[in-house]
Amino acid sequence: MPKISVIMSAYKEPLEWIKESIDSILNQTFCDFEFIIVDDNPEDKELLAFLKEYEGKDGRIHILQNEQNKGLPYCLNKAMDHSRGVYIARMDADDIAMPKRLSMQYDYLEQHTDILVCGCWARRFGKISFWSDRCYCTPENYDEIKICALFQSPMIHPSVMARREVMVCHKYDESLRKAQDYDLWCRLIQAGCKMHNITSCLLRYRITEKSLSLKARSEQGRVADDVRSRLLATYGIPHTTDEVLLHNSICKCQKCDVDVAEEWVLKLYRFFKRKTPDSIQFLNVFLGSQWFLFMLLINQPFYRFLKSEVPHKLSLGIILRFVKRFLSIL
């Protein structure tokens, strides 16, 4: 039985990208794994032949083919059903794993038995030059992850390795076409599953020029709104229906009453400061950066940001770190 099952879905990614992704897994310093790839584009005979050629060359690779396009959640659940590893590692068909990725995540999970899911940082690359070679940073410990999750996905989906029993128990919601990973992290938090991100860039995360359609953006936004609403209830943060709508508006940087929004952010700050005192530094930087981003994108003048209670409450001395965080999460 292999130690790790790497699972991946291939759809319409260029074969060159898929090759880079597969090769990056085959060239890992950690070798005790199986690599399950689900072909979710059965009409593309060239893709199947390409994947089958890899399967014939390396016995660790197993190709599964869908009879019709089923979407990412279905493919990942199908791969998990066929997996045998102690751990399950995600990979996307257009990303590149660093040589020590599997080794470092495996070692971390072996040494920290209370952690059930382990992600990592990533280095953005691709055609959009602004993001080229920029580190994609995620929160490190579980308390930080819980704070971040109230605003955005706290894990980079293709960077994750998890204990098999956790993934098989919870699985992906196949009714969701977008943000299925954000939904999964929410359910894991609700179940008390501890997560961690290794603060090393162990993945190259490809940025493409292809943007989501309006329909896809709408679906992604709907799922994210639902996730944040569930987490507010899970954390026990007192809130009204209007405050849920307000929180989602802040997260999406939509115009709303700035004074009311400021009161809400300060309410969250006081809550997390009391509940997670050991994460105060992260809380200061993260909430401050979220507020900075919100104010910037709704076209508020900078002096309004400076005079608001949020940065004063969170320490004006780290405004430069707000800017750094802002550049990281755009």
Give the model's confidence band at 300: pLDDT under 50 very low, under 70 low, under 90 confident, else very high: confident
Regarding whether 187 and 320 lie in a shared domain, the answer is: no
Minimum mean pLDDT range among 22-31, 41-50, 203-212, 311-320: 311-320
Residues of the chain with pLDDT > 70, as a percent, come to 89
8, part of any domain: yes
User: In this structure, what token pair is assigned to residue 167?
Assistant: 């993934």
Query: Are 56 and 95 contained in the same domain?
Result: yes
Res. 263: pLDDT tops 70: yes
188 and 255 in a single domain? The answer is no
Residue 82 is predicted with a pLDDT of 97
Q: What is the C-alpha to C-alpha distance for residues 85 and 88, in angstroms, rounded to an integer?
A: 6
Q: Same structural domain for residues 156 and 60?
A: yes
Q: Is residue 222 part of a domain?
A: no
- The candidate with the shortest Cα–Cα distance to 179, out of 134, 230, 233, is 230
Can you tell me whether residue 14 is helix, strand or coil? Answer: coil
Residue 309: predicted pLDDT: 79
Q: Are residues 96 and 17 in the same domain?
A: yes
CATH number at residue 96: 3.90.550.10
Q: Which domain holds residue 318?
A: 237-329
Residues 34 and 150 in one domain: yes
The answer to whether residue 59 is domain-embedded is yes
| pLDDT confidence tier of residue 210, bands split at 50, 70 and 90 | low
Calpha distance 195→314 (Å, rounded): 26
Residue 130 belongs to some domain of the structure: yes
Within a domain: 212 = no
Tell me: do 23 and 145 sit in the same domain.
yes
Q: What is the pLDDT of residue 329?
A: 47
Residue range 50-103, pLDDT digits in tens: 999 999 999 999 999 999 999 999 999 999 999 999 999 999 999 999 999 999
Pair (14, 94) in one structural domain: yes
DSSP lists the bridge partners of residue 122 as 136, 203
Q: Is residue 61 part of a domain?
A: yes
Classify residue 171: in a domain, yes or no.
Answer: yes
What is the total residue count of the chain? 330
For residue range 10-49, list pLDDT tens digits in order: 999 999 999 999 999 999 999 999 999 999 999 999 999 9
How far apart, in whole angstroms, are the C-alpha atoms of residue 131 and residue 120? 18
Q: How many helices (H) and strands (E) does the chain have?
A: 14, 9
**Domain boundary, last residue among 162, 188, 207:** 207
In a domain, 231, yes or no: no
At residue 108 the predicted structure's pLDDT band, cuts being 50, 70 and 90, is: very high
Domain count, the chain: 2
Q: What is the pLDDT of residues 135-144, one digit of tens each?
A: 889 999 999 9
- The reply to whether 320 and 183 lie within a common domain is no
pLDDT exceeds cutoff 50 at 131: no
Candidate from 128-132, 170-174, 193-197, 231-235 with smallest mean pLDDT = 128-132
Gap between the Cα atoms of 111 and 5, Å rounded: 19
Residue 285 pLDDT level (bands cut at 50, 70, 90): confident
**Domain end among 169, 190, 207:** 207
